[in-house]
Amino acid sequence: MAESDLAREFISNYKTWVSIAAFLIAWYVWMARKWSKGHFPLPPGPRGLPLIGFLPFLEKELHCQFEKLTKIYGPIMSVRLLNKNVIVVSSPELAREVLRDQDPVFANRDVTVAVLAMNYGGINIGFAPNGPHLRLVRRICSRELMSNKGLDSFYPLRRRELRKVVRDVYSKINTPIDLSETTFQVVLNLLISTFWGATLDGEGRRTLAKEFRQWTNEAMELATRFNVSDLFPILARFDIQRIVREMTKLSNYIDKIYESIIDRRRKMDREEGGDEKKKEGKDFMQLLLQLTEDEDRKAPLTVDIMKAMIQDLLIGGTDTTSTMVAWSIGELLKHPDMMRKVQEELEQVVGKNNIVEESHLHELHYLDAVMKETHRLHPAIPFLVPRSPSKTSVVGGYIVPKGSKVLVNVWVIHRDPKIWKDPLVFKPERFLTEEFKKCDIRGTDHRFIPFGSGRRTCIGLPLAERMYPYLLASLVHSFDWRWPEGTNYEFEDKFGIVTRQAVPLVAIPTPRLSNPKLYT
């Protein structure tokens, strides 16, 4: 780049940042006057610096930092980031206020401009504003995919993918396997099969899985990048950091892939015509395409809404489920006595001369306790998805301003020593006691809310309730696992949209079923 071009770029950016600074100063003076008059009583919290607030002090492992701050400021605190108030609630009682008692007020998401660009303008289930559209897409998803009937109809697809991963692991016995990557791939393939079924052949599924994994990594990096446009919406149109531009480019790329799959599905449907036998075992896309063509619906389902729904479920289901399976196996490897209990239960219910089926899962009580304890100690999304009140409200005796970012600190709630004895110890047995036996992952007990609660509870929860135990039980029943020799496994987490293991889980499998044919 020529020196003159660099100079012009510097001058252009200089003017932009001077304008931002002037805006910040004006805003700070206005806010200071409001505070001085006592019109803005926020929860307690760290003071931060003038204008920019606590932004320079945010740490990489945010969940650990907020845990420390909660011990100082209490179960509700406010953290100011430039002009944005972040309200953090960290007790079951306050979580209940936000997620249940005032659910309609806190039903909206705090959505970034990058997320809007990634999700067709926010028409997906995860980030759509509370209202008729959200009720429509949640109702369609609940009735067509997440109902017991719908999930049962897709079971052959799930079973096929589970048998594939068992065969794949069997081909690698006595060699180290990256279980973090293996579980991610199998969950992604499982969801792709559920959504697209016969639309994609084996090679097509593998190609889509690879493309989607790469797209997700790049999109998540952009979505988590600090963006001044989120704090000052007036600047969003300028896209100073070019984040929206990059995200739009990525979204257009994945959209073309979706379009090609949709075209292929429509072509298949035309070729099948009226042959009902060929239409048995419909995949999710086929069901949704029929709804887009239903002219009698009061609120028609568009193709973009369909694509946003599928993308939402792929992103939301893949990383969380695979991460929790990896955490569970890691904890069982760390506690061999618990691994033995899980395998003994599987031998009693399934038998070593048989393979795990979904019909076995409701009898695996100790395995269920292991999964709950994994959700407690290693919640996939430690702050849930941020909420934003539609009007100024009062929570715990403090004002929560309209438009604030509200975080429900599941990480702290699940580790509160007032609720959980020995909170940092992995103890599945606690969920077999009378006190916690009735705790489920559906958010009815706000001491334990890994998937949230209220009207914005994770829509994919019914599918996760089947995939997570099915994959975990299959891997633990079919194989014995051990650490590679000389491994000093650091059991630490890495904060992100999904809190993963800091070090990928690598373990060595050996077969444990009595009949080798069960693997092939």
pLDDT, tens digit, 9 for 90 and up, residues 43-52: 999 989 988 8
pLDDT at position 290, please? Answer: 81
User: 410 pLDDT band (50/70/90 cuts)?
Assistant: very high
Q: Which of 37-41, 209-213, 283-287 has the highest average model confidence (pLDDT)? A: 209-213
Q: Is 31 left (phi over 0), alpha (psi -120 to 50) or beta?
A: alpha
**Statement: residue 275 has pLDDT above 70:** no
Contacts of 455 (CB under 8 A, 6+ apart): 103, 104, 107, 130
Residue with structure tokens 């999304």? 381
Beta-strand relationship, 84-89 and 405-408: parallel
Q: How far is CA 499 from CA 156, 371, 496, in A?
A: 31, 16, 5
54 compared with 32, residue with greater pLDDT = 54
pLDDT at position 433, please? Answer: 95
For 80-117, give one letter per residue: b (16+ CB within 10 A) or e.
bbbbbbbbbbbbbebbbbbbeebbebbbbbbbbbbbbb
Residue pair 427/373 in contact by the 8 Å Cβ criterion: yes
In which element (H, E) is residue 405 found? strand 405-408
Q: Identify the weakest region by mean pLDDT among 369-373, 461-465, 479-483.
A: 461-465
Q: How far is CA 295 from CA 72, 243, 290, 291, in A?
A: 58, 38, 10, 9
Which strands form 405-408's sheet, in the order they lie side by side?
Answer: 76-81, 84-89, 405-408, 387-388, 108-109
Residue pair 82/24 in contact by the 8 Å Cβ criterion: yes
User: 39 pLDDT band (50/70/90 cuts)?
Assistant: low
Per residue in 316-373, pLDDT (tens digit) is 888 899 999 999 999 999 999 999 999 999 999 999 999 999 999 999 999 999 999 9
Give the pLDDT mean for 415-440: 95
DSSP secondary structure string for all residues of 43-62: PP----BTTTBTGGG--SSH
Strand partners, 85: 80
Q: Which residue, among 129, 147, 127, 149, has the nearest Cα to 139 in the 3D structure?
A: 147
Strand partners, 215: none
User: 15 pLDDT band (50/70/90 cuts)?
Assistant: low
**Statement: residue 443 has pLDDT above 60:** yes
**Statement: residue 299 has pLDDT above 80:** no
Burial class (CB in 10 A: 0-12, 13-18, 19+), 74: middle
pLDDT at position 277, please? Answer: 42
Per residue in 110-165, pLDDT (tens digit) is 999 999 999 888 888 989 999 998 998 898 888 877 889 888 888 888 898 899 99
pLDDT at position 3, please? Answer: 46
Distance CA 205, CA 196 (A): 9
Residue with structure tokens 């907020």? 66
Helix 461-478 × helix 303-334 angle, to 10° = 40
**Statement: residue 33 has pLDDT above 90:** no
pLDDT at position 279, please? Answer: 43
User: 26 pLDDT band (50/70/90 cuts)?
Assistant: low
280 compared with 413, residue with greater pLDDT = 413
Distance CA 461, CA 345 (A): 25
pLDDT at position 261, please? Answer: 86
**Statement: residue 284 has pLDDT above 90:** no
Residue pair 77/48 in contact by the 8 Å Cβ criterion: no
User: 36 pLDDT band (50/70/90 cuts)?
Assistant: very low
* CB-side neighbour CA atoms (13 Å) of 42: 22
424: its two tokens = 């940092």
Q: How far is CA 93 from CA 90, 96, 389, in A?
A: 9, 5, 18
pLDDT at position 469, please? Answer: 96
Contacts of 454 (CB under 8 A, 6+ apart): 99, 100, 103, 107, 443
Percent of the chain with pLDDT over 70: 88
Q: What is the 3-state secondary structure (H, E, C) of 243-271?
A: HHHHHHHHHHHHHHHHHHHHHHHHHHHHH
Q: How many residues does the chain have?
A: 520
Distance CA 159, CA 53 (A): 51
* CB-side neighbour CA atoms (13 Å) of 255: 14
Q: Which residue, among 257, 299, 296, 265, has the nearest Cα to 282 in the 3D structure?
A: 265
Give the pLDDT mean for 424-450: 94
**DSSP at 100:** I
Give the pLDDT mean for 473-482: 97
In which element (H, E) is residue 407 found? strand 405-408
> Cα 170 to chain center, whole Å?
30
pLDDT at position 278, please? Answer: 46
**Statement: residue 29 has pLDDT above 60:** no
**Statement: residue 22 has pLDDT above 70:** no
pLDDT at position 313, please? Answer: 86
pLDDT at position 149, please? Answer: 87
pLDDT at position 35, please? Answer: 47
Residue pair 133/262 in contact by the 8 Å Cβ criterion: no
**Statement: residue 214 has pLDDT above 60:** yes
Average pLDDT across the chain, whole number: 87
Give the pLDDT mean for 468-472: 96
Residue pair 371/469 in contact by the 8 Å Cβ criterion: yes
pLDDT at position 157, please? Answer: 83
189: its two tokens = 């393939």
pLDDT at position 360, please? Answer: 97
Per residue in 86-101, pLDDT (tens digit) is 999 999 999 999 999 9
Give the pLDDT mean for 238-250: 93
Dihedral angle sign, alpha carbons of residues 443, 449, 452, 453: positive
Strand partners, 399: 394
Percent of the chain with pLDDT over 90: 51
Residue pair 471/187 in contact by the 8 Å Cβ criterion: yes
Residue pair 375/84 in contact by the 8 Å Cβ criterion: no
**Statement: residue 412 has pLDDT above 60:** yes
Q: What is the 3-state secondary structure (H, E, C) of 460-487?
A: CHHHHHHHHHHHHHHHHHHEEEECCCCC
Strand partners, 81: 53, 84
